């Protein structure tokens, strides 16, 4: 695949991945892009084909998975979701750094491909959310525990960022990505 190296971001819910990504997109406009995932679920009101998701049938998606067309996939609530190689290539063809926000299963799947992304784990000391039910909190804590265990395995992530200070975490993130950012900016200038 040609173009800048993709970035795989992973981490538990509440770790600040979305906040950090939004800041990257704002500060480095025209440098990053997102691949459009595939799903077998029906579109929700206001969602657009090719913008929010590529909507497909279970049969077609399963065939693509079986053929190795997807770098990662998972099933949630009876629907398949996944990132195709072609969706990443579409972003890279525009000379953009493709950002993938995936869970632990996605990281493991991507590790089996030839994608060669920069793997970044965003971790956070979980704060108590007053609006959360006990069941929701326990599920989130268990997912975070699993995520933190994976982030300690040697060779899984290129870097682990502890987001206990958003500005510091953002500085660490941009320092890791600056070489790829400069490559994109040089081509565009």
Count of domains observed in the chain: 1
CATH of the domain at 48: 3.40.50.300
Catalytic residue (one of 58, 108, 129, 145): 129
Catalytic residue (one of 44, 58, 108, 145): 44
Catalytic residue (one of 5, 23, 41, 140): 140
**Domain assignment present for 52:** yes
Average pLDDT over residues 139-161: 70
pTM given for the model: 0.79
Q: Which residue has the higher pLDDT, 151 or 72?
A: 72
Q: Residue 146 above 90 pLDDT?
A: no
Task: Provide the pLDDT confidence category of residue 110 given band limits of 50, 70 and 90.
Answer: very high
**Domain assignment present for 144:** yes
Active site residue 129: yes
Give a three-class secondary structure readout of 77-127. CCEEEEEEHHHHHHHHHCCCEEEEECCHHHHHHHHCCCCCCEEEEEECCCC
Query: Containing domain of residue 109, as a range?
Result: 7-188
Average pLDDT over residues 74-81: 92
**Domain assignment present for 2:** no
């Amino acid at each position: 695949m040609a173009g800048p190296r993709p970035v795989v971001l992973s981490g538990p819910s509440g770790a600040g991945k979305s906040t950090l990504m939004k800041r990257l997109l704002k500060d480095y406009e025209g440098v990053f892009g997102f691949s459009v995932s595939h799903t077998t679920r029906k579109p929700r009101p206001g969602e657009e084909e090719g913008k929010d998701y590529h909507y497909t049938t279970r049969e077609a998606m399963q065939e693509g998975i079986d053929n190795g067309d997807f770098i990662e996939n998972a099933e949630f609530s009876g629907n398949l979701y996944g990132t195709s190689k072609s969706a990443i290539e579409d972003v890279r063809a525009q000379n953009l750094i493709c950002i993938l926000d995936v869970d632990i299963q996605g990281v493991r799947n991507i590790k089996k491909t030839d994608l060669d992304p920069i793997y970044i784990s965003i971790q956070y000391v979980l704060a108590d959310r007053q609006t959360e039910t006990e069941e929701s909190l326990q599920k989130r804590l268990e997912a975070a525990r699993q995520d933190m265990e994976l982030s300690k395995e040697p060779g899984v992530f290129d870097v682990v960022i502890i987001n206990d200070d958003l500005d510091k975490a953002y500085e660490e993130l941009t320092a890791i990505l600056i070489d790829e950012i400069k490559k994109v900016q040089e081509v565009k200038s």
